A and B are shown apart, each in its own frame.
Chain A
Amino acid sequence: MKKSKAVRYNKWGYIFLLPFIIVYVVFQFIPMVTTIYNSFFENYMSGLTQIGPKFVGLGNYQKLFSDGDIWIYAKNTMVLWIMCFIPQIILSLLLGAWFSDTLLKLKGQRFFKTVIYMPNLIMASAFSMLFFTLFSDGGPINSMLMQIGFISEPYKFLSNTGSARGLIAFMNCLMWFGNTTILLMAGMMGIDTSLFEAAEVDGATSTQVFFKITLPLLRPILVYVMITSLIGGLQLFDVPQILTNGTGDPMRSTMTLIMFLNKHLFSKNYGMAGAVSVLLFIITAVLSLIVFKVTGNDKRKG
């Protein structure tokens, strides 16, 4: 009796999944399979002439690993992600804690909550244009620093590894921290406020409330933020691409994996692009699994 009822309901699971699956298969699965398939072929355009496809087995992968640069780009990507993610998550949690702190009674919360997402509304290309202007050798930042006597001649922000990476991380952080904060806040709304009130009555400090109540209950959303930020970080592309004009200067120290992929896409080198994509996919999957595992353990403890 009970079983048949469950089955009757559960067919709706398939029905509700149907639109997603159909659209996915048509618009994403087919292109994805072609990508993997292509990674085993030599297949590119020389001008308007098609070269290949010629089956080369693991030849593309061999080429990819033999010069070893791919690991440099992987490292760059991770460095940029960490430089951007750590301040971003700290800032987001801090803001989330403040906004949800009933003792703090911050005024103008609505304004601040609205404002933090705004940078994401500007197109990355327009944003980069502004950064170019501000941080150019003769730009306002340099002339300001020179006026206060901090430096004696213009500092070339985009010609030094540290500052170039810093700028990229800063821009990315600025564009996405609001996003993260909103996600966390939306998660916090799901938390039963009576819990906070009860804690307050029991004399818990805000710090205690945050770590003992908010964070554990926020876990699913935090996992989401971690995973998507990791995926987004590994796919970091538009900001460094536009800011360095696709070169990854200086000496490719800001070249990310997707920028490298983009270089192969430019020459319509489906073979190499496919190999880079497959590798990227494997890296992402492994890292995501680790995050899942780590956060999954936390759940049991809590």
Chain B
Amino acid sequence: MAKNNEVSKGLGIKTRRIIAYVVLCIITFFCLFWFYILFINATRSNGELQSGFTLLPSKNLWKNWLNLYHGTLPILNGLVNSFIISALSAVLCVYFSTMTAYAIHAYDFKLKKFIYPFILMIMMIPTQVTALGFVRLVSNMKLEDSFIPLIVPSVAAPVTFFYMKQYMESSLPLSLIEAARIDGSGEFHTFNIIVLPLMRPAIAVQAIFTFVSSWNNYFTPALILHEDKKKTLPILIAQLRSADWLKFDMGQVYVMIAFSIFPVILVYLILSKHIVQGVALGSVKG
């Protein structure tokens, strides 16, 4: 064993570093390649797109964009709608999931033994299953064409809750909370001022995940939003793709996809900074 280690150490650093870089470069290629194709396709006209695939950009980006922008779809509304829904979902989701996880993590109450497994259980129910009942419920509540049924349910996100709970287990010592209590901090105050900042990496991670999945969600919004001005970007893309043969234009579809990816990249880059910074925080703590 020791010999083995020596060999690997001797083989070590330099070779391993090279391997790591090579693998990382391959992975990077596979991660970014799609964005490149999307961009290339967005610059090509419908006819060019039909004639096959190429790696070189064409000159129709601006034309495609103008066609899309001056078309009948309210894409700017779509952008705003998508943003409102995704941002609020992400905020509500991480805040209340952390709160729920904190309730389970920090307190000992009678029903805890029952509620924790219960939440884990409901995590296993596929979303598609409840979707139809959900839509019925929404229409009974007269909430069609409203953002409420798309935003509020994210308060109860078992998957996010589970992650927060696991994260707290590994990095939120109960002694810290005790200390806060001794200092006279109220429970709600402790949660907001002490716990939330400590959870920052986890919150950033889950905020990204929730934002992205909400941003790209087609299934539920398509069942609930019918008025053009209320629609989100994925619905508008679908609408563009089911355009009649007269107006069918893949160039526009690709521009629209590129257009709808752009904001989400931006949000991701902003939030991912917190994750990377989180590393630095960890070392300070040490």
What residues of chain A have their CB less than 8 Å away from a CB belonging to chain B?
Answer: 6, 9-17, 19-21, 23-24, 26-32, 34-35, 91, 94-95, 98, 103-106, 110-127, 130, 133-134, 138-140, 174, 178-179, 182-183, 185-187, 189-195, 197, 205-208, 217-221, 223-224, 227-228, 231, 234-235, 237, 258, 261-262, 265, 268, 270, 273-274, 277, 280-281, 284-285, 288
Contacts and interface: CB of A to CB of B under 8 A. Distances in A.
A91 B26 CA distance: 12
B125 A130 contact: no
A120 B125 contact: no
Interface string B150-178: 00110110010111001101110000000
A156 to B, nearest CB: 17
A117 B126 CA distance: 24
Q: Which of B125, B130, B204, B238 has the most CB of A within 10 A?
A: B125
Contacts of A183: 163, 205
Interface string B4-34: 0100110011001100110110011011101
Nearest to A232: B159
- Of the four ranges (under 10, 10 to 19, 20 to 34, 35 or more), the interface on chain B belongs to 35 or more
A116 B31 CA distance: 6
- Is chain A's interface secondary structure helix, strand, loop, or mixed overall? helix
B129 A277 contact: yes
Contact of A27 (B115, B152, B261): B152
Contacts of A224: 162-163, 166
Contacts of A34: 133, 136
Contacts of B155: 19-20, 23
19 contacts: A19-B100, A20-B99, A32-B130, A105-B17, A111-B28, A123-B260, A139-B53, A174-B30, A187-B167, A189-B275, A191-B282, A192-B286, A197-B286, A205-B8, A205-B9, A231-B124, A237-B128, A258-B126, A281-B126
B34 A119 contact: yes
Q: Which of B21, B27, B115 has the most CB of A within 10 A?
A: B27
B97 to A, nearest CB: 8
B34 A220 contact: no
Given A12-B103, A20-B155, A284-B124, A117 B268 contact: yes
B38 A288 contact: no
Contact of B137 (A31, A120, A130): A31
B129 A23 contact: no
Nearest to B198: A190
A118 B96 CA distance: 26
A127 B161 contact: no
